[in-house]
Amino acid sequence: MAVNATTPSLNPADIASYGPVIPVIVIDRVEDAIPLAEALLAGGVKVLEVTLRTPAGLPAIEAIARQLPEAVVGVGTVLNAEDARRASEAGARFAVSPGYTSEVGSACKGLNLPLLPGVATSSEIMQALADGFQFLKLFPAEAVGGIPLLKSWASPFGQVSFCPTGGITNATAPNYLALPNVRCVGGSWLTPGDAVRSGDWARITQLAQATQALRQAS
């Protein structure tokens, strides 16, 4: 398969350079993958995190990677080395994990697959730093402390930047983006389940377009 064999390499820091929001996408039907991705691209959102929470996740990644090379499609919910391997072969250009283990970190490095590791504690940050990762995902952001936690971490972990994900909305995103150690946020509000099920791609494009103003609002 090896769909991503000829795609340009991606530095982990590049993930945050395309826009303030990375959509966290759950796909139930593979046939929704392309129109959904096209709707997000039309709204200016180029980086797409397709999760492995459903059986449709992996084939959806492969479809987007093959048919929409302008999209930077990545894989979410990576729990182990096998998840990383299968996603890389399907064409994922980056990986996101809800937590962090050295197994996942090592596997992604071996695959040349940029990883955005999830952390929720100082110990996890220290382990990720020891393994060479400095751009991390705070998850689940709202549940574990959100903005106050990120402010507390700014001093002891000054070299770390974050992509908070989990419970963040269009209304609260600017508050996160205003923090100096936050480079982008992740959110599922760009792809509401009812809009995907009904094929309301215009609504998804509008939600994507609205994210472009979030950085300025922060």
Give the pLDDT of the chain (218 residues) as one tens digit per residue: 445 444 556 777 788 999 999 999 999 999 999 999 999 999 999 999 999 999 999 999 999 999 999 999 999 999 999 999 999 999 999 999 999 999 999 999 999 999 999 999 999 999 999 999 999 999 999 999 999 999 999 999 999 999 999 999 999 999 999 999 999 999 999 999 999 999 999 999 999 999 988 866 65
| Residues identified as active-site | 49, 137
CATH, domain range 3-211: 3.20.20.70
Residues 6+ apart with CB under 8 A from 209: 43, 44
DSSP strand pairing (161-162 vs 72-76): unpaired
Phi and psi at 138, nearest 5°, equal -85, 120
Sheet of 118-119, strands arranged across: 118-119, 135-138, 161-162
As separate numbers, helices (DSSP H) first and strands (DSSP E) second, the chain gives 11, 9
Give the residues across from 52 on adjacent strands.
Answer: none
| Claim: this prediction has a pTM higher than 0.75 | yes
What's the Cα-to-Cα distance from 96 to each of 24, 30, 68, rounded to whole Å? 10, 20, 20
